[in-house]
Amino acid sequence: DTVMHWNGPTKPKASGCFVLTPSGCPRQGFDAKDWTRDSWGEQNRKAAESQSQCLSQRKKDYDSWCGASDTQMVWNAPPKPPAAPTSRGCYVFTPTGCPKQGFSATTWTRDSWGEQNRNALRSKSQCLSQRKTDYDGWCGSTDTVMHW
């Protein structure tokens, strides 16, 4: 008997939404022959947090945009936040990292800058709302989690 194996690109293990365009993207100057993070979909369509956004909606978007029908998507769930810190303060957790910066809070990390410069130590709303907005914009992500 003959056994066939296909050695295509290895699926990513990192959390987030990823795209592969086996036949290319004829209508655009885009080609994802290897698994490529769908950064735009993660930032603008919540594809990092939502499995259906990544696997269904973003596939439709790519097929239409590219003029192809064989787009493949992979979604890996973001990690759950670790146990909440017990010390008083403003903390940040970045489940999918911080793509635009050389920063990653893969465990609860004290937001010392926000506490010193944005009143995040004394104001719950500054920590939970404003600092999340700040981190999401600075990181180029939408899944930052804050704890106060």
What is the pLDDT at residue 80?
Answer: 82
Alpha-carbon distance 140 to 142, whole Å?
7
Q: What is the pLDDT of residue 6?
A: 62
- Rounded average pLDDT per 10-residue block, the chain, 148 residues: 74 92 94 94 91 98 97 92 94 89 92 97 97 94 90
Give the Cα separation of 73 and 54 in Å (integer).
7
Which is nearest to 61 in space by CA: 45, 49, 48? 45
Comparing CA positions, the residue from 101, 120, 104, 122 lying closest to residue 112 is 120
Predicted local distance difference test score (pLDDT) of residue 5: 61
CA gap 130, 102 in Å, rounded? 21
> What Rg value do the Cα atoms of the chain yield, rounded?
19
Per-residue pLDDT at 13? 87
